[in-house]
């Protein structure tokens, strides 16, 4: 019985990891929802999927970096993952120096800047 549960869980995890990435916006929305409920591991996975789906998304890189930072923040001041977070922040602002995170509402959860949103109209 326990063995069946372990095999089923492993199969489901493998299926999730091989699933094609959702759109970056979908993954960002899911990540923000998970982050708001302090499910940082799930949020990190969603933001990583967003980066995979759109490596040029400043929002995806920023939210991934912030989530990594929040996950390791309580541990110790010089946790090695803090460098990963810093790298993601740097990439976000390299891609879009005027990026401003939007944590919900306003229809801009993807973190698009006003200029980008206007140019898409």
Three-state secondary-structure class, residue 72: helix
Q: Is residue 57 part of a domain?
A: yes
- Whether the pLDDT of residue 104 is over 50: the answer is yes
Mean pLDDT of 84-113: 77
As a whole number, the mean pLDDT across the chain is 76
- The residue segments making up the domain with residue 88 are 21-101
Q: Is residue 52 part of a domain?
A: yes
Residue-level length of the chain: 121
pLDDT at 80: 87
CA distance 41 to 39: 6
Residues in CB range of 82: below 8 A, 6 or more apart: 68, 69, 72
User: For the segment 17-29, what is each residue's pLDDT rounded down to a tens digit?
Assistant: 445 556 999 999 9
**Which of the pair, 22 or 40, is modelled with greater confidence?**
40
Q: Is residue 32 part of a domain?
A: yes
pLDDT at 75: 74
Q: Is residue 82 part of a domain?
A: yes
Q: Is residue 38 part of a domain?
A: yes
For the chain, how many structural domains are there in total? 1
pLDDT at 105: 53
Instruction: Tell me the pLDDT band of 5, cut-offs 50, 70 and 90.
Output: very low
Q: Is residue 120 part of a domain?
A: no
CATH number of the domain at 75, please.
1.25.40.10
Q: What percent of the chain has pLDDT over 90?
A: 54
**60 exposure class (CB count in 10 Å sphere: 0-12, 13-18, 19+):** buried
- Whether the pLDDT of residue 40 is over 90: the answer is yes
User: For the segment 58-89, what is each residue's pLDDT rounded down to a tens digit?
Assistant: 999 999 999 999 988 877 778 889 999 999 99
């Amino acid at each position: 019985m326990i063995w069946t549960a372990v095999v089923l869980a492993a199969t489901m995890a493998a299926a999730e990891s091989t699933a094609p990435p959702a759109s970056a916006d979908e993954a960002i929305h899911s990540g923000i929802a998970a982050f708001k409920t302090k499910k940082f591991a799930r949020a990190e996975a969603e933001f990583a999927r967003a980066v995979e789906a759109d490596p040029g998304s400043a929002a995806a890189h920023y939210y991934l970096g912030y989530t990594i930072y929040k996950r390791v923040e309580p541990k110790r001041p010089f946790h090695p993952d803090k460098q990963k977070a810093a790298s993601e922040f740097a990439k976000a602002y390299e891609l879009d120096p005027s990026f401003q995170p939007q944590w919900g509402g306003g229809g801009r959860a993807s973190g698009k800047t006003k200029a980008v949103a206007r140019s898409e109209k």
